[in-house]
Structure 1
Amino acid sequence: MNQRINPESPLLLFALLAGSSLTVMSGAAVSPAMPAITAAFADEPMADFLTRLVLTMPALFIALCAPLGGLLVDRVGRKPVIVVALTLYGLSGTVGLYTDSLTVLLASRALLGVAVGGLMTACTTLIGDCYQGVRRSQVLGLQASSAAIGGVVFLLGGGLLTELSWRGPFTLYLAAFVLLPITLIALRQAPVYTPAQRAEAAARGDQQRPAMASLIGLYACMLLGMGLFYVVPLQLPYRLHELGYMSGALAGAALSVNTVCAAILSFSYRQLYLRFPEWQLLAASFFAIAGGLGLIGAAEGLPLILTGLSFVGAALGLLIPTVNQWLLRIAPLSMRGRIISGSTAGLFLGQFLSPFLSQPLVGLTGLAGAFLAFSALALVVAVLVTVLARRGRPHDPRTDATRGAS
């Protein structure tokens, strides 16, 4: 490796966390502007449907293109993918500032998804390269925590800028160009693995492929977990209306409880990782989702709703760093990008599919019934994780503390 590397560089850590936070902005920034965007393109055929794709298009293309990003991360390198992805992010994200074409806007949102898929995969893979064991778990927790906080900041910023114009929130994507020079400097201190080093890792036996069943199981947990989590922002405002709480501001404040709890759990993830095996943390995330959705479905007033939201937020704070830590631990050096790309794809595919899965169930059972049904599904997943993981050889995180294992 280059002798100038310093994985513990605060600037490098900042660049990785900031780059990861930008991925949340793909949808959060423009969400408050959706009614205004629909009004701006009201003369377009199928405007109501097509303008909604402005919000969902990035998630679909992130899921579709993340595997390609993972392949490039392994073949070309982590640094080039981050730099190109940041540049494409800024260029595509700001198209809404000047275009008057809905078709061009939708195409730019698809390109934004391509950029986010590469950026998220490369940043997480580089975290796996730079940090090991307990320190890695801490950084992955910080990554999830910063993304959660960033989501709130970008949502609020998008709302304020929407007051100026529907184009206003698209200025937030200029943040990529601010971050780009900082990242270029920071990446000089990141490790670079050459073909010779990959060959050396292979000779040591570090290149053993992880079991396909493990990968599929972890990807499925990410997809299901995110799909269940996104039932809350999609359906909670309607559930509050059903209970007589009509204020949109109240719905926004209630959802912030979700995000704050996710950020707190992620921030303290290192301490949890030291005390509990990965399978217990993963199972706990689904037990928490089950409890939270069940409380929201059974609630007759705001206190129980808020309690349920805190459970669901805590679940998200456990789910993302646990899946990524588990994948990075079992991924060989030469396959880290491709293996992490599956987590990125599952994360955003769950977001994209959530409305398609939840809305029909709401039509069949009503809002309360849908929340209770999804609670039961999460409970089944939690039990399956517990049973299947215990049949294998669970990783003991205490060995990381003593040996610094990856």
Structure 2
Amino acid sequence: MDKKTNNLGLKLGILATSLLISDATAISVTVAPMEATFSNISATTVESLVTIPSFSMLLFILLSNFVIRLIGKKKTVLLGLSMAFIGGVLPAFVTSFPAIIFCRFLLGAGVGTYNTLAVGLISDFFTGVEQKKLLGFQTTTSAIGSALTTFLAGILVSYDWHYAYLVYALSIPILLVFYLNVPEPSKKIANDSSALNAQEKNKIKLNSTVILSVVSMFFMFVFLMNIATKTSEFLTEQNIKNAAFLGTALTIGGLLGAVSGFLYGRVYVHLKNITPIFSSAVVALGFAGVAYSSEMILFTVGTSLVYIGYSMLISYLYGVIFDNVNAASKNISVSLAMVACNLEAFFSPYIVSIISNAIGNSSAKEGLSMSVLFYGVLAVIFVFPVFKKGIGSNTTKAIDGNN
């Protein structure tokens, strides 16, 4: 590791970019007042302002590798943050609904442009245990950013819904911190020099381990989404008292998940290849606590375990991807992982519904039980030696693309 990679400013600059990547839904609190303002617009269309950034984000994640090759990684981040600032803040000053729709699209496009680099830059400057720690910090930073912007938007909307969009002005200090502290990554491929020749270093190649990791992420998110989509219905079905505590329970879980991400590096140092088994088991246990709870205390504990385990598991899988591709393949690998994670938000209800219909039980409890089964099976799969040799061999030494 080069001396500059120990620089605190470098770490803060890279991590700061994660503060905005999960904040598209922060302005969901503006839906009701905006429906009153735009009474001639259907409620569904107004609600789509919350989800439009997800669509453009997905599109520009796919395009980001072209932009990176064209202008470099640092300029790509600066471009994306600038787009996010313009698209995020402008709705605070415009009154045209079509203009607001365009701004929301631009916000997602900006975040999507640099989204992969919020994770990818970590592997450009850091290796080994330090890299694992920063991957956990990245998860934590994203969660903190989402909670912070949602909280601020909730305060600002009480004055006027326009003001809530000012939360995206956060992109300016992020841009400055990044610009001042993060250099353009060197083109030298430090991790592959002993194993790859010059041609292989620049060849994009994804092995089965990376593909399996991306597919795993997709299904992990599909069944994780049950914690958001099924819990309200579950509390009603089971007639659990104090169901209004749901929002607080989910907030507590999210915060503990952020703490879990912060501590991930230390957990990995002790557990190493046992990390995915442990993390999957914790998520399965958490979903079991939720699915079979009869009171809010157990429900809240279960929800917290889901977020704690998942935060560690997703950090581990990003580490797997970094350790199993050459430098030329890192951006496209992270792009595929993020595309998988964004697609699940759309497909999750449909996949769970198909399974529910197939087994003849569409209750919320059954949906949550599916998550228990999935993560339980995932924990068992990670135990198998053959599987551990592939997706489980998350060592600190990167391997070449010939595996």
Instruction: Measure how far apart 1:223 and its partner are.
Output: 1.8
Aligned to 2:325: 331
Instruction: Measure how far apart 1:227 and its partner are.
Output: 2.6
Instruction: Measure how far apart 1:76 and its partner are.
Output: 3.5
Instruction: Measure how far apart 1:98 and its partner are.
Output: 2.5
Aligned to 1:101: 96
Q: 1:154 to 1:227 in 2, by over 3 A?
A: farther
Instruction: Find the aligned partners of 2:90 and 2:260 in 1 and give their Cα distance.
Output: 36
Is the Cα contact below 8 Å between 1:20 and 1:147 reproduced in 2?
yes
1:1-58 Cα deviation digits (max 9, x unpaired): xx9x82222222112111112112122x2122233333333321xx222222212222
Instruction: Measure how far apart 1:206 and its partner are.
Output: 4.6
2:98 matched to 1:77?
no
Instruction: Find the aligned partners of 1:357 and 1:39 in 2 and give their Cα distance.
Output: 34
2:21 matched to 1:23?
yes
Instruction: Find the aligned partners of 1:245 and 1:107 in 2 and give their Cα distance.
Output: 43
Instruction: Measure how far apart 1:375 and its partner are.
Output: 2.4
Is the Cα contact below 8 Å between 1:287 and 1:378 reproduced in 2?
yes
Q: Which has the higher contact order (CA 8 A, sep 6+)?
A: 1
The aligned runs of 1:323-362 (5 Å cut-off) are 323-357=317-351
Instruction: Find the aligned partners of 2:161 and 2:214 in 1 and give their Cα distance.
Output: 36
Aligned to 1:117: 112
What is the root-mean-square deviation in Å for CA atoms of aligned residues?
3.2
Unaligned runs of at least 5 residues, structure 1: none
Q: Which letter does structure 2 place at the counterpart of 1:36?
A: P
Q: Which moves more between the two structures, 359-368 or 30-39?
A: 359-368
1:275-300 Cα deviation digits (max 9, x unpaired): 3344x433443333332223212111
2:52 matched to 1:57?
yes
Q: What secondary structure does 1:276 align onto?
A: helix
Instruction: Measure how far apart 1:138 and its partner are.
Output: 0.7
Q: Which moves more between the two structures, 306-315 or 220-229?
A: 220-229
Q: Which letter does structure 1 place at the counterpart of 2:146?
A: G
2:312 matched to 1:318?
yes
Instruction: Measure how far apart 1:378 and its partner are.
Output: 3.1
Q: 1:80 to 1:357 in 2, by over 3 A?
A: same
Instruction: Find the aligned partners of 1:391 and 1:199 in 2 and give their Cα distance.
Output: 23
1:138-176 Cα deviation digits (max 9, x unpaired): 111111112122222222112111211222221010111
Unaligned runs of at least 5 residues, structure 2: none
Q: Which letter does structure 2 place at the counterpart of 1:33?
A: T
2:9 matched to 1:11?
yes
Instruction: Find the aligned partners of 2:241 and 2:152 in 1 and give their Cα distance.
Output: 25
Instruction: Find the aligned partners of 1:284 and 1:40 in 2 and give their Cα distance.
Output: 50
Aligned to 1:395: 393
Instruction: Measure how far apart 1:393 and its partner are.
Output: 7.9
Q: Which moves more between the two structures, 286-295 or 334-343?
A: 286-295
Q: 1:63 to 1:287 in 2, by over 3 A?
A: farther
2:175 matched to 1:180?
yes
Instruction: Measure how far apart 1:302 and its partner are.
Output: 0.7
Aligned to 2:368: 371
Instruction: Find the aligned partners of 2:398 and 2:60 in 1 and give their Cα distance.
Output: 33
Instruction: Find the aligned partners of 1:240 and 1:79 in 2 and give their Cα distance.
Output: 47
TM-score between the two structures when normalised by the length of structure 1: 0.86
Aligned to 1:219: 214
Instruction: Find the aligned partners of 2:98 and 2:352 in 1 and give their Cα distance.
Output: 28
Report the count of equivalent residues: 394
Q: Which letter does structure 2 place at the counterpart of 1:271?
A: R
Q: Which moves more between the two structures, 79-88 or 378-387?
A: 378-387
Aligned to 1:144: 139
Is the Cα contact below 8 Å between 2:88 and 2:168 reproduced in 1?
yes
The aligned runs of 1:155-304 (5 Å cut-off) are 155-188=150-183, 191-193=185-187, 202-203=197-198, 206=201, 211-242=206-237, 243-245=239-241, 248=244, 250-278=245-273, 280-304=274-298
Instruction: Find the aligned partners of 1:152 and 1:308 in 2 and give their Cα distance.
Output: 20
Instruction: Measure how far apart 1:95 and its partner are.
Output: 2.8
Is the Cα contact below 8 Å between 2:280 and 2:310 reproduced in 1?
no
Instruction: Measure how far apart 1:194 and its partner are.
Output: 6.7
Q: What secondary structure does 1:320 align onto?
A: helix
Is the Cα contact below 8 Å between 2:324 and 2:399 reproduced in 1?
no
Q: 1:393 to 1:65 in 2, by over 3 A?
A: closer
Instruction: Measure how far apart 1:326 and its partner are.
Output: 1.2
Q: Which moves more between the two structures, 13-22 or 132-141?
A: 13-22
Q: Which moves more between the two structures, 220-229 or 382-391?
A: 382-391
Instruction: Find the aligned partners of 2:72 and 2:39 in 1 and give their Cα distance.
Output: 44
Instruction: Find the aligned partners of 1:91 and 1:183 in 2 and give their Cα distance.
Output: 18
Instruction: Find the aligned partners of 1:76 and 1:343 in 2 and give their Cα distance.
Output: 23
Is the Cα contact below 8 Å between 1:78 and 1:123 reproduced in 2?
no
Instruction: Find the aligned partners of 1:309 and 1:281 in 2 and give their Cα distance.
Output: 20
